[in-house]
Amino acid sequence: MTGNQEPSTTALLWHGDHLALLDQRLLPEREVWLTYTDADGVASAIRDMVVRGAPAIGICAAYGLVLAARQAARYDDWRALIQSAARTLAGARPTAVNLSWALQRLQSVLNDADDAREAIRRLDLEARAIHDEDVAANHRMAEHALSIMDHGPFAVLTHCNTGSLATGGYGTALGVIRHLWHQGRLTRVYADETRPWLQGSRLTAWELQQEGIPVTLNTDGAAAQILRRGDVRWVIVGADRITANGDVANKIGTYGLAVLARHHGVRVMVVAPSSTVDRSLSSGDDIPIEERGADELRMIQGLPIAPDGISVYNPVFDVTPADLVDVIVTEQGVTWLQTPSSL
Ligand code: MRU
């Protein structure tokens, strides 16, 4: 892994023999690109949040497996080595299903390869296809979403970061928000800061500000006060896993936000590619929820903000029950979970 300079409008760049990642831990203060040449490095980057966001980590895992194949090619047991790397990549983070979904797609093309050279070629093509399809899906989701929203203009509130930094490009919920803005249908975006990792303040506010989209940053705790004022018509969020019954795992705080939205008569839209839908799980109770280290709450930039040794509970995702979600938008279309009566 080495540091260098790359353009900042995307989270990841694939160069065929290495993967470049914009280090999201350092944004917005510094734009540093890191270079990865093996699967273990990519797995660490996903685990340590150099790259994050469900679709982006799926795409990175796919490219990570291509790197594994390139390294395995000189050994007789190349296939077993690639499969071992796939297990390492799949274990990097537990909640977003996009990671195992992407790796399963690559494993199935691996089964069709008779030699290591062919495996590299097929895996590379499939990883690039996953990346391209994600960008195309984001644009389709934005079009589907706008087709069911009233003309506006209105304000929206979002949580976490679901933009170019979290996907192959453009974004899921943030793609919808970008599209609303370009169509003249958006007055303002309220961005929850998204404690504790601050994806909202460090990433979403940065992405939107760079494009001149009006954004107001608020603490997560201010959401109720904002929704009460009445100018926000939609809460628009992404997802890390959607189960067969429509339950949605997303960044911690989404569940509470959905409760607030229902209380204030504000619609909740979940925007995610079909790669985020996990029909093998019947409900959100079965989704593994990642817990991260205590220091994410005890410290900010290495400075203590809580008593030394304090007990901490830090689940970084929650599950919003389907009955609090109004509509789920994927690239395949729109699914209403509640009656669209008052639109
Ligand atoms: O912990 P993170 O930053 O990977 O969590 C990201 C989210 O929860 C996003 O809302 C989700 O992955 C959708 S990104 C298009």
Contact criterion met (CB below 8 Å) for 337 and 325: yes
Q: Compute, in angstroms, the gap from residue 69 CA to the centroid of ligand 1.
A: 28
342 pLDDT above the threshold of 70: no
Specify whether 80 is located in the same domain as 207: no
Single out the residue of 70, 33, 62, 39 nearest to residue 128, CA to CA: 62
pLDDT at 1: 53
* Same domain (yes/no): 134, 163: no
Give pLDDT tens digits for 277-286: 999 999 999 9
Q: Is 100 in the pocket of ligand 1 (CB under 6 A)?
A: no
Q: What pLDDT is recorded for position 341?
A: 58
The phi-psi region of residue 160 (left if phi > 0; otherwise alpha if psi is between -120 and 50; otherwise beta) is: left
What residues are designated binding site for substrate?
52-54, 93, 199, 250-251
Domain extent for 226: 141-336
Q: What are the tokens at 320?
A: 């919003």
Secondary element (H or E) of residue 191: strand 186-192
pTM: 0.96
Q: Give me the residues paired with residue 65 across strands.
A: none
Question: 295 and 161 share a domain?
Answer: yes
Note whether 132 and 47 are same-domain residues: yes
Q: Which amino acid is at 194?
A: T
125 and 164 fall within a common domain? no
Backbone phi, psi, residue 188, to 5°: -165, 150
Query: Which is nearest to 202 in space by CA: 50, 31, 27?
Result: 27
Confidence of residue 343 (pLDDT cuts 50, 70, 90): very low
Q: Let me know: does 36 contact 59? Beta carbons within 8 Å.
A: no
Q: What is the pLDDT of residues 62-110, one digit of tens each?
A: 999 999 999 999 999 999 999 999 999 999 999 999 999 999 999 999 9
CA distance 57 to 240: 11
> Both 300 and 225 in a single domain?
yes
Contact yes or no for 24/49 (Cβ under 8 A): yes
Six-digit token string for 326 = 């109004």
- Say yes or no: 77 and 180 in one domain: no
Residues 236 and 109 occupy one common structural domain: no
Tell me how many domains the chain contains: 2
For the CA of 237, the nearest atom of ligand 1: 10
CATH number at residue 304: 3.40.50.10470
Q: What is the pLDDT of residues 27-40, one digit of tens each?
A: 999 999 999 999 99
Domain containing 39 — which CATH number? Answer: 1.20.120.420
pLDDT at 133 over 80: yes
Q: For the residues 22-26, what does the mean pLDDT come to? A: 97
77 C-alpha to ligand 1 centroid (Å): 36
In a domain, 288, yes or no: yes
Mean pLDDT of 229-241: 98
Using alpha carbons only, give the angle 75, 80, 84 rounded to the nearest 5 degrees: 115
Integer Cα distance of 174 and 162 in angstroms: 5
Contact residues for 104 (Cβ-Cβ < 8 A; gap 6+): none
